[in-house]
């Protein structure tokens, strides 16, 4: 199978599976929202915002390092072992910190004692997540998407089934049921990935030369440091939102509900189409890294141009769909009128998010991950500052405006850097005019369907 065909097949597999997984995730979130309400969803999001700081500590950069080194022919057995050892060592430290500090975090940051035990349950899964990140990175470099995709389906299926069964049948509190289901999903994933990796490695072998610890740290270190700082700021942002909404006049439950509507309902819907974009962008990392190593500038520019064009041709019509059908989505999925209203307002944010995601992934393949992390870190700092300043004055409307300003700022810097590094000229027709025309046609078609359905 030639490279182009293999890329298209792998993209189709990864994108199709991502869509199904996100659909499953949306359905699951909808089912959970019915059981625990917007306030419960808000608290659930806060718990995971703290947990993701631990996930970042043990995964950020290691999957990318494994992908990059394997794509460059440096993934020897010793290299894989080093990468796994570093990831597992950090995950053990993160697990201990989260487990022992759960009561403190619940009381002083999440401000709910109900969060302590769920945090301890989630902490146990961190070494499993670290192992999976490294092994998936290795498979992606081999252009083998089937194993990571199957692993993700097994994890999601186990998580959803176990969580709903525990919610409905066990005496455990709802948040503990949900976090235990999540951890059981991670156990399922690692129990599948390890034997699959050993079988594939035994059949095809490893590279003769391997990346050194210094090379792994060169790739993973900046990603880890920057992502950890950004996750810390993102966690602080999420924890500050309910506090600042209370300063605007909302009581504790109302503040959690507003936060839950935006971050637990609207943003997952808005990010759902990103599964298609992310799948293609992630698979571009080894290709663009290989082209860069061979100093094939034309191939790099051609890849970047096609990625930008696809992102906007896809993103603008999707934004139109969300705008036209926001009432239906908010009502059917969550039974929440505020979710529908906010989704309509935030629909134009989608194309900016998708374009920024593509630019970030391409920059990683070009060894510009440090720049991306600096931009993301600055973006997070600005968001935290604006939340503290504006939310107490203007409430949830200010947060929506901050999200728009953040995406414009981040996307402008990321795309600008990519154009500079690749020496690619902007293509107004392919990146803007054609997608805008497609969005206009989509708007007319959807409005017609809406009138017929009404």
Q: Give the tens place of pLDDT for each residue, 259-315.
A: 888 888 888 888 888 777 776 676 677 677 777 777 777 777 877 777 777 777 777
What's the number of CA atoms in the CB half-sphere (13 Å) around residue 27? 12
Which stretches of 180-311 are assigned E, i.e. beta strand? none
Q: Is residue 128 exposed (0-12), middle (13-18) or buried (19+ Cβ within 10 Å)?
A: buried
Q: Name the strand (E) or helix (H) holding 21.
A: helix 3-59
Are 266 and 388 a contacting pair, CB within 8 Å? no
Neighbouring residues of 6: CB distance < 8 A, sequence distance ≥ 6: 143
Q: Please calculate the CA angle 11-15-17 and round it to the nearest 5 degrees.
A: 120
| DSSP-derived secondary structure letter, 6 | H
Across the chain, what does the average pLDDT equal?
81
Are 200 and 147 a contacting pair, CB within 8 Å? yes
| DSSP-derived secondary structure letter, 115 | G
pLDDT exceeds 60 at position 97 = yes
Q: What is the distance between the alpha carbons of residues 105 and 61, in angstroms, rounded to a whole number?
A: 26
Question: C-alpha distances in angstroms, 10 versus 7, 141, 142, 286?
Answer: 5, 12, 11, 13
Are 319 and 348 a contacting pair, CB within 8 Å? yes
Q: What is the distance between the alpha carbons of residues 355 and 359, in angstroms, rounded to a whole number?
A: 6
pLDDT digits (tens, 9 = 90+) for 156-171: 999 999 999 999 998 9
pLDDT exceeds 90 at position 177 = yes
Q: Pull the structure tokens for residue 188.
A: 């399922």
Quote the pTM value. 0.69
Q: What is the per-residue pLDDT for 11?
A: 64
Q: Residue 205: what are its φ and ψ, rounded to 5°?
A: 80, 180
Which of 25-39, 69-83, 93-107 shows the highest mean pLDDT?
Answer: 93-107
Q: Is residue 299 exposed (0-12), middle (13-18) or buried (19+ Cβ within 10 Å)?
A: middle
pLDDT digits (tens, 9 = 90+) for 191-217: 999 999 888 877 766 666 665 677 777
Q: What is the distance between the alpha carbons of residues 303 and 448, in angstroms, rounded to a whole number?
A: 36
pLDDT digits (tens, 9 = 90+) for 353-384: 888 888 888 887 777 877 887 888 888 889 99
Please count the residues of the chain: 454
Q: Name the strand (E) or helix (H) holding 438.
A: helix 434-453
pLDDT digits (tens, 9 = 90+) for 43-94: 888 898 889 888 887 777 777 777 777 766 666 677 778 888 888 888 898 8
């Amino acid at each position: 199978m030639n490279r182009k065909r293999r890329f298209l097949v792998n993209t189709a597999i990864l994108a199709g599976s991502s869509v199904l997984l996100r659909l499953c995730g949306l359905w699951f979130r909808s089912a959970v929202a019915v059981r625990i309400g917007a306030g419960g969803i808000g608290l659930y999001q806060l718990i995971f915002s703290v947990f993701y700081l631990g996930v970042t500590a043990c995964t950020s950069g290691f999957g990318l390092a494994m992908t990059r080194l394997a794509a460059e022919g440096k993934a020897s057995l010793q290299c894989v072992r080093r990468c796994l050892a570093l990831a597992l060592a950090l995950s053990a430290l993160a697990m201990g910190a989260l487990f022992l500090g759960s009561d403190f975090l619940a009381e002083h940051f999440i401000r709910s004692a109900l969060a302590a035990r769920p945090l301890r349950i989630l902490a146990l899964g961190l070494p499993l997540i670290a192992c999976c990140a490294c092994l998936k990175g290795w498979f992606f470099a081999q252009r083998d998407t089937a194993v990571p995709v199957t692993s993700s389906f097994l994890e999601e299926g186990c998580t959803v089934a176990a969580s709903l069964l525990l919610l409905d049948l066990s005496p455990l509190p709802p948040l503990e049921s949900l976090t235990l289901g999540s951890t059981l999903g991670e156990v399922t994933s690692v129990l599948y990935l390890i034997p699959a990796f050993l079988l594939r490695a035994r059949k095809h072998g490893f590279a003769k030369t391997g990346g050194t610890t210094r090379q792994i740290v060169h790739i993973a270190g900046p990603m880890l440091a920057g992502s950890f700082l950004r996750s810390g700021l993102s966690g602080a942002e999420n924890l500050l939102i309910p506090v600042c909404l209370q300063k605007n006049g909302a009581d504790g439950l109302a503040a959690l509900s507003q936060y839950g509507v935006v971050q637990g309902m609207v943003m997952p819907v808005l990010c759902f189409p990103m599964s298609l974009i992310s799948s293609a962008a992630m698979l571009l990392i080894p290709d663009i890294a290989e082209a860069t190593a061979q100093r094939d500038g034309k191939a790099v520019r051609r890849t970047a141009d096609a990625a930008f064009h696809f992102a906007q041709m896809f993103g603008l019509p999707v934004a139109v769909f969300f705008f036209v059908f926001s009432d239906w989505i908010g009502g059917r999925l969550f039974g929440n009128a505020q979710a529908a209203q906010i989704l309509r307002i935030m629909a134009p944010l989608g194309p900016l998010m998708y374009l920024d995601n593509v630019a970030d992934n391409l920059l990683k393949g070009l060894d510009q991950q440090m720049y991306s992390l600096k931009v993301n870190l600055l973006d997070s700092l600005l968001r935290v500052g604006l939340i503290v300043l504006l939310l107490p004055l203007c409430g949830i409307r200010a947060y929506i405006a901050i999200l728009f300003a953040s995406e414009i700022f981040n996307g402008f810097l990321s795309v600008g850097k990519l154009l500079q590094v690749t020496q690619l000229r902007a293509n107004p027709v392919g990146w803007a005019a054609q997608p805008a025309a497609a969005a206009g046609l989509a708007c007319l078609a959807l409005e017609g369907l809406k009138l017929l359905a009404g």
